[in-house]
Chain A
Amino acid sequence: MQGILLPITTIWWREIIRFYRQRSRLFSAIAQPLVFWILIGSGLSASFQPSGAVDGPSYIEYFYPGIVVLVLLFTSIFATISVVNDRREGFLQGVLVAPVPRWQIVFAQALGGTTLALLQGLLLLLFTPMIGIRFGVTSFLLSLGVMALLAFGLTNLGLLIAWRMDSTQGFHAIMNLLLIPIWLLSGAFFPSTGVPGWLAWTMKFNPLTYGLAAFRHSLYLDTTAKAFGEGTPWTLSLLITGLFCILTYVGATLTASAQRN
């Protein structure tokens, strides 16, 4: 067992130390979503009511879970971009020729990304009282769990892309054409109720839609989530998010195993 745990822990821990020593990464992953949230949230609050939210909840509150997910997405993107370089010039080169199976390497990397994303997500949870969300212990723990699942899935999605790439140049295109749209169409920005049919269907097939739904459910644990237009049941959203984690992890491992360098 130690034979498996030791390489995983060491790769994971290296990610944490690196992050701690490059604190500008913390700033870049949190600041941008925070600015988005405050500017867009406040701006739209004045003129829009989320469809389905009949009374009360403001847009800034609606937008909040989406921003947490955006922070998770950004952190996992940053964590995976570093993999591309690290594999060509850096510590990972040595890991690749060490007797450590690829599934362990990918798992450790995903765990590293998840931890970092979770830490930053936690920082954002500090803002909940400001918008009137109050949670109990159960809700807090559930939210953490869902955030961890989401972060794990998103990091693996990033790894799946990163392990195929030779340089970071192409990553920006993928980020803008794939990752950001996935986020935009997850119900983070607007609910699926009332949108044109084709868009509603796209959102239905977006795995992140279910992740976001699970997160809203865990934040409120009552019917408020429904008030935000979340039609997806709690269990189904959790199930699909779990499935998303497994599939992206398996995908990332297969990609990493196919690439020998």
Chain B
Amino acid sequence: MVVETDVLHSINTESRKPKVSESRIEVENLSYAYQQRQALDNISFDVSCGEIFGLLGPNGSGKTTLFKILSTLMPATTGTVRILGHDLATEVKAIRNLLGVVFQHPGLDTKLTVVENLKHHGHLYRLTGKTLRYRTAELLERFGVSDRAKERVEILSGGLQRRVEIAKALLHSPRVLLLDEPTSGLDVTARRQLNDYLRTTAQAENILVLLTTHLLDDAEACNRIGILDVGQLVALGQPDELKNQVGGDVILIEGVDNETLGTTIAERFGVSTVFADNRLRVECKHGHEFVRDVVAAFPDEIQSVRLGKPTLEDVFVKLTGNPFVQ
């Protein structure tokens, strides 16, 4: 049951934590279970204002469940979440005023024009008159959709619709912007544009942006990320920091018989090999020397070799031992 009374609000205002909590999302030991299945298992992390935080994980990793909990649509089974100092369990109304939410499924009324969508949304947050018009114009301008303002949403491209949706979510000047797979269904160019818009917005409005994604590129564009795998947070940090944890270079080898090759390479070179996605994965320093030696040692058994700097995918594989299926 959603508790939305001002009484609770005032009680909690009195017992507020120090100022720092008022500019953060704090998730502590959060768990969620759907009957038998544990969708989120004891998750803790913090996000600060001005930051773009990405939750990266393959399908079924629990991202959407976490998103629903943060956006006040589902109560957590156990654990606490404080959003800018407000407890999610008791201060839903106060939190809803602070949140801008962009859902994975389209959230615009396609029969309405761009401006009408924003107008109705603004009314839900008690925005009217000049304030509403000014803010609408400002956001449509920033997201490059001013010239389409009077058109019905159904005739806009997917990329433009997404931008309108984000403009809509920002209309009431929320301090937290939550986005569930914001780039899904967009082509590469539209995705890059959207990530740029998010970056400028986070700075311009000094807001906290939290997004979920299963795309490595999107995660790279975040200031900080958390990697989710079957309900557990397996990594937390800046993308570069996480990639540095993977030792040096990553070599991907495709062999005639990967299993035997893996064991032989491990024995001969003293490295650990992981078999994922039909390839052998080896991490080591001085990758170029390893490649030279390994090709010389197994000229007939190896079909292809790829040498590269670690990606977030490598981080995921290293931490979970599973391939990252996008």
Contact = CB atoms under 8 A, between A and B. Distances in A.
Contacts, number: 85
Interface in B49-80: 68, 71-75
A96 B109 contact: no
Nearest to A2: B126
Given A89-B105, A91-B117, A10 B71 contact: no
Contact of A94 (B1, B72, B116, B124): B124
Contacts of B97: 99
Interface in B85-108: 93, 96-97, 99, 101, 103, 105-108
Nearest to B124: A98
Contact of A100 (B74, B105, B111, B124): B124
B68 to A, nearest CB: 6
Interface string B117-133: 10111011110100000
Contacts of A89: 105-107
A184 B119 CA distance: 42
A101 B169 CA distance: 19
Q: How would you classify the secondary structure of chain A's contact residues: helix, strand, loop or mixed?
A: helix
Contacts of A94: 101, 103, 107, 121, 124, 168-169
Contact of B99 (A6, A21, A88, A97): A97
Contacts of B168: 94
A206 interface: no
A3 interface: yes
Contacts of B74: 260-261
Interface in B118-174: 119-121, 123-126, 128, 168-169
Given A97-B99, A98-B96, A101-B4, A7 B107 contact: no
Contacts of B75: 260
B261 interface: no
Contacts of B124: 6-7, 10-11, 94-95, 98-100
Interface in A92-129: 93-102
A101 B4 CA distance: 8
B8 interface: no
B125 A99 contact: yes
Interface string A56-85: 000000000000000000000000000000
Interface in A183-220: none
A14 B97 CA distance: 22
- Which interface class (under 10, 10 to 19, 20 to 34, 35 or more) fits A? 20 to 34
Interface string A250-261: 000000011011
A260 B2 contact: yes
B123 A7 contact: yes
Contacts of A145: none
A99 B120 contact: no
A6 B126 contact: yes
A93 B103 contact: yes
A6 B109 CA distance: 18
Contacts of A98: 96, 121, 124-125
A99 B71 CA distance: 12
Contacts of A99: 93, 96-97, 124-125
B126 A3 contact: yes
Interface string A11-37: 101100110011000000000000000
Given A91-B120, A95-B124, A17 B105 contact: no
B112 interface: yes
Contacts of A43: none
Contacts of A231: none
Nearest to A261: B73
A97 B123 contact: no
B107 A93 contact: yes
Given A17-B111, A17-B116, A261-B74, A88 B123 contact: no
A90 interface: yes
Residue among B1, B73, B97, B124 having the largest count of chain A Cβ atoms under 10 Å: B124
A95 B73 CA distance: 11
B103 to A, nearest CB: 5
A139 interface: no
A22 B4 contact: no
Given A17-B116, A97-B72, A9 B111 contact: no
Contacts of B125: 98-99
B68 A18 contact: no
Given A6-B124, A93-B105, 12 more contacts: A3-B126, A6-B123, A6-B126, A6-B128, A17-B111, A18-B112, A21-B111, A90-B105, A94-B107, A96-B73, A101-B4, A260-B73
Interface of B: 1-2, 4, 68, 71-75, 93, 96-97, 99, 101, 103, 105-109, 111-112, 116-117, 119-121, 123-126, 128, 168-169
19 contacts: A6-B123, A9-B123, A10-B119, A10-B124, A14-B112, A14-B120, A17-B112, A18-B111, A21-B111, A90-B108, A91-B108, A94-B124, A94-B169, A97-B71, A99-B93, A260-B2, A260-B72, A261-B68, A261-B73
